[in-house]
Structure 1
Amino acid sequence: MASFFKFLLIFPLISHIHGAISHKYPTLPKAAVLPLKKDLSTLQYVTELLIGENLSPVKLVVDLGGPFVWIDSEFTSQLSSTGSVKSCSLQCSMVEIKGCSRSGGLRCDASKTCTLPVENSVSRVSTSGEMKEGRVGVKFLDAMEPGSLAYIRRFLFSCAPNLLLEGLASDAKGMLGLGNSRISLPSQFSTTFGFFHRKFSICLSPSNGAILLGGSPSEIENESTISMMYTSLISKNSNIQDGYYINVSSIKISGEKLSLYPIGFVGRTKISTTTPYTTMESKIYNTFIAAYIKAATSMNLSLVAPVAPFEICFSPNEVGSKTILPNFPAVDLVLQSELVKWRILGRNSMVRVSNEVMCLGFLNGGLVKPKDPIVMGGYQLEDYTLEFNLANSMLGFSSPLGMGKKKCSDFDASSMYPMVS
């Protein structure tokens, strides 16, 4: 164990972020796990973090691209052993806070606390928050003792005013950022526990799922049936804190390539857990739905009156079944080559709004030039294993689970945590 801590000393900032493991491991744990649960009223994905000296559970909405964890200041004030971070500290400089700059010959004020911009990525409301540090606990997946507790002693997060909670799931006290910044949860975790790779995986489902820090379900469950494809994660405007993007070279519906380039299609596509359904810029969307309707009607699927918020709905032939999903056109997002494509089948493209009606779960994002031309929403991500490797900027994605394979709900981690009701 002593040699392990000696090894950790080579990591930058380790004197400021310390980890402790609650017992000695005969073998290294495979990953840390956080539970995921879908809030059906908001369609948000919610997890739980254990924070403070007493490791109090706090319910947080998962923000895949969020740069850090932020928690309601009223909840934070009730925690023991959490402290403020000074503006001149090394921790503050980790998020490139301008308060530590010495431009214009001015020295930073060591008496002030570190503040940073905080955003609710659901409501798009933003304000400033104070940086804090405190103990955070995580559960390890260990073959010898599943659910063993470990913790980060001086985890960095932000507290934010109560107004930022508007629009979040019931009882949520903030958001958990999984983005590629130096103070996101995956980054602080891998820095603290140096034997883990700098990567994380998510497995979303309509019910329960999991976030895995340092590992993936295919490694943990020894599931050879979970095959993965890989594509590069690309940056937007060279800013790693803008979220996760992939480059989609083309889109196919039932094997037919959409003619998108005449309307100025750019392949940058954002992956989001706070957007319920995939959105497309208006011109892309119009081309997409025209091709989808053509393919669907050729399969004898009949258009019916739309049901908000969806614009395209069908009455499939097999309307009497609540469990069997009728065949719908396959949507392929072609990535770096024709051999690497993200296939979206009916389970992830169609939303059943009643026994008689199913609607296309892709929405018009509006605007001619929106911030992001395409945003892949949570519904399209469900029952895929997604592995974000931050060390080499790669995204791994499985084929759709649940087709004779494990589903994301099979990786349910809620029993390891006292999930906030």
Structure 2
Amino acid sequence: MSKDLTGQRLGHYKIDGVLGRGGMSVMYRATDTRLGRKVALKVMGEHITGDAEFRERFVDEARNTSAIDHANIVPLYDFGEVDGMLYIAMRLVDGSDLATLIKDGPISPKRALELLSQVAEALDMLHERGLVHLDLKPANVLVTSRESVHEHVYLADFGLTRRGATGHRTASGDFLGSPTYAAPEHLRGEPVDGRTDQYALSCMLFACLTGRPPFQGQVQEVIQGHLGAEPPPATALVVLPGGIDEVLRGGMSKSPDKRFGNCKELVAAARAALGPAAGDTPPPSRQAAPVAPMAPVAPMSGPQPVQYGPPAPPGPPHGYRQYQQPPRPLPPPGNDPVRLRPPIPAGSTAFATKSGGSAKWIVPVLAGVALVVIVVIFVVMANSIGGSSGSGTESTTSETSPYNNNHLPTSVPTR
């Protein structure tokens, strides 16, 4: 890569500082000393400029680009070569780029559609002229709000080529472009056309809605993903209508013939799929989808059913309850007493026992029976004694006794 040229001059351009660096070039903020205006000066890397085929392409594409006049394409002012270094001077846009806008997460679907619809307009115009961008990525989409009420997009940093040409590669086989957003035919060095840019635009739409490109990892993993893997569903990452997955799969189809007719059709299909979901707020992450709070439940009086199971996660604040009825109540652990139903009135058959309960009431019953027998005997004896004393005469008994009569008196004297 070329050394930092800050503070030096390149032809009639005074280089003021670095705007950004890429794999093929360095973008500088510079001053055109002839016209006194600020420009963005793209200086190609030395490892690229030594390739004769690339130098021929560079000159041809720069001439085609300078003739383009579109509201969403950065105007190209000048191009040339100084001391073996190739450069392009273009308009300096005061703003940010799409890569910066999505680096911390997705943007709102509405904003994504508004920005990418302008990109689609510019791309379709290029394709109608037989040109292909071939380096479409968020860093090359410049966004400014200083020129109009709404955000305005400029498509920049072209790797333009004519329709029917093959993907950008140097004579040594180096790939020229960004593999993160490159179409399969571009990566394989096959013929490219406007559908190649549409694939990259679909990847950018995926990144705007989810906050990440469709394929991640090391360079070879990303390339293999584009060549043979299906893109992950956007709805698995963020909360969006399911129809958007079909749109993204169509735009990122491995076969160019199965993609949309042009880039504007892709954006229109995405807008229709998102529908009312294309709001002003970024889509929430699927893992962080909010849980609706439980409705308040009035407190219940009396004993409540107790159920045992694994500890429940922390619930909503006090005053909110969540009830779950299992198929069967689980038995209580250990011997701890647990009331499983409300109290039952005394005398209910629910208190009856089948066995082992007689020990609690047989003693009082037997004691009562014994007391009644004693009282009856006492009354009989008292009546018998009272009858004998009331006659005033001797009496004998003819009853036989089981005892020996010789030892017992036969009469009771009275005085």
TM-score category by the smaller chain? under 0.3
More strand by share: 1
Q: Using structure 1 for the length normalisation, give the TM-score.
A: 0.21
Larger radius of gyration: 2
